[in-house]
Amino acid sequence: MTSVAAEFDHMEIQQQYSDGVNNRWDADDWDNENSSARLFERSRIKALADVRVSARREMSRWFVTFYNNTEEKVFSKHADVKNSNAEHQDTFRLKTPEVIKVEEKLLRDVLEP
């Protein structure tokens, strides 16, 4: 008897839960082009796209600035090594792999006769 009552309670709770979830987004709401649910989803997608574009622009701007500054440091370091001024040789900086390759090539060209 108790198992039948427990099963009934479980089924009743499950039915109430599924009714509450399914009633929130009825198919009729999505059929209308100007429904509040559809407009909300469109505005949310647009907002996320705008955030993605602004983050991409900011990252591109940062990378271009960083790359330009690093390139100048590499060439000034090359001039320092060429002039036998070694005060900047012990400075470690974060560099992209391309800049490290350029720097190694410049140092090889200077040090090899």
At 20-70, the pLDDT tens digits run 555 555 555 556 677 888 888 889 999 999 998 888 888 888 877 877 766
Contact status, residue 38 vs residue 50, Cβ threshold 8 Å? no
Domain membership of residue 69 (yes or no) is: yes
Q: What pLDDT is stored for residue 57 in this prediction?
A: 86
**What pLDDT is recorded for position 18?**
60
Residue 2 covered by a domain:
no
Distance CA 61, CA 59 (A): 5
Residue 10 counted as domain residue: no
| Count of structural domains within the chain | 1
C-alpha span between 63 and 72 (Å, rounded): 14
pTM for the model stands at 0.35
Tokens of 14: 């499950």
Examine residue 26 and state whether it is found in any structural domain, yes or no. no
Residue 23 lies in a domain: no
> Is 21 inside any structural domain?
no
User: Residue 63 CB: number of other CB atoms within 10 A?
Assistant: 11
Range of the domain at 102: 33-111
Angle separating helix axes 97-111 and 36-82, nearest 10 degrees: 10
In a domain, residue 15? The reply is no
Report the distance separating Cα 80 and Cα 26, nearest Å. Answer: 72
Residue 9 lies in a domain: no
Dist. CA 9–CA 83, nearest whole Å: 87
